[in-house]
Amino acid sequence: RTVYLNGEYMPEDEAKVSVFDRGFLMADGVYEVTSVLDGKLIDFDGHAVRLQRSLDELEMRHPSSKEDLLEVHRELVRLNEITDGMIYLQITRGNPGDRDFAYPPQDTAPTVVLFTQAKPGMADSPLTKTGMKVISIPDQRWGRRDIKTVQLLYPSMGKMMAKAAGADDAWMVEDDHITEGTSNNAYIVKGNTIVTRQLGHDILHGITRAAVLRFAREAQMSVEERPFTVAEAQAADEAFITSASMFVMPVVEMDGAAIGSGAPGPVAARLREIYLDESRKTAI
């Protein structure tokens, strides 16, 4: 693979980052994942805007313009001949030359890394047919989940707990209500209404979430943005998740209880189709 590091394209085994990098020592960094379908970037604008917001919240300077960033994404797609897959971008506060809790001076160069992950046929995942099983676990992450930082240890632990339970993912619970999945936003459908938690500091503001809710409203579906419980999820007609890499994916089981018929539902299927159609049209 050819990867990008601080202004240069290079083979992945030549890309080296300092042991003093604050991303490595402190998880002091932010990231974005953008999907590629048919060689084109999905929702690039949304990811660029959220990246800017994450950097602003952490008082990190933006190392390049949106146009330059788009160029790097496109060049990596070209160099690695990606048809379907993902582009991972990470920006850390860089290498201050020593370990210190205080931020280094503003003129410390950030570390910018981008790489590709090929996922041939990612839009036709077999999970679409079977649906995902999820378990509930306590949400033990920090309080600013709206900032997309690289501190992903608890979500990794959650993924392992799900695997150990024979499930595909974990939905996290705080004060009796579901916040989100380990790497996705969570939804239930009851009657004709789609329910998903409202935006705040307690969840990531998913780019796919924003697009899917917009398409749902344009299609005259009713949407309620409010917290919901595990019991409500188990009693729902349908459930699903959204993320840049999974698009819209049905959820058919929560803590061992079947949701609805126990098979992927029509609302998730319809939203997935609309999302993929519309995103392909606006891909760049």
Active site (catalytic) residues: 148
* Residue 272 near ligand PMP by CB under 6 A: no
Of the candidates 229, 220, 227, the residue with the CA atom closest to the CA atom of residue 267: 220
**Residues 248/275, Cβ–Cβ less than 8 Å:** yes
Applying CB under 6 A, the site for ligand PMP has a residue count of 13
Which helix (H) or strand (E) is 111 found in, with range?
strand 111-118
* Residue 207 near ligand PMP by CB under 6 A: yes
Calpha distance 129→150 (Å, rounded): 31
Give the residue with the Cβ less far from ligand PMP, 96 or 267. 267
Of the candidates 129, 249, 125, the residue with the CA atom closest to the CA atom of residue 186: 249
- The residues with which 247 forms a beta bridge, in sequence order, are 243
Which one of residues 95, 111, 128, 242 is an interface residue with ligand PMP (CB under 6 A)? Answer: 242
Taking residues 186 to 205 in sequence order and writing x for each that binds ligand PMP by CB under 6 A, - otherwise, the string is ------------------x-
**Residues 91/52, Cβ–Cβ less than 8 Å:** no
Which one of residues 21, 168, 169, 180 is an interface residue with ligand PMP (CB under 6 A)? Answer: 180
Calpha distance 207→244 (Å, rounded): 7
* Residue 87 near ligand PMP by CB under 6 A: no
Residue 111 Rama label (left phi>0; alpha psi -120 to 50; beta) = beta
Of the candidates 171, 151, 150, the residue with the CA atom closest to the CA atom of residue 161: 171
Which one of residues 208, 250, 268, 274 is an interface residue with ligand PMP (CB under 6 A)? Answer: 208
**Residues 267/221, Cβ–Cβ less than 8 Å:** yes
* Residue 54 near ligand PMP by CB under 6 A: no
Residue 234 CB, nearest approach to ligand PMP (Å): 21
* Residue 279 near ligand PMP by CB under 6 A: no
Which helix (H) or strand (E) is 162 found in, with range?
helix 153-164
Which one of residues 111, 128, 243, 279 is an interface residue with ligand PMP (CB under 6 A)? Answer: 243
Give the residue with the Cβ less far from ligand PMP, 20 or 88. 88
Give the residue with the Cβ less far from ligand PMP, 95 or 195. 195
Which one of residues 95, 128, 149, 184 is an interface residue with ligand PMP (CB under 6 A)? Answer: 184
Contact positions vs ligand PMP (CB under 6 A): 33, 180, 183-185, 204, 206-209, 242-244
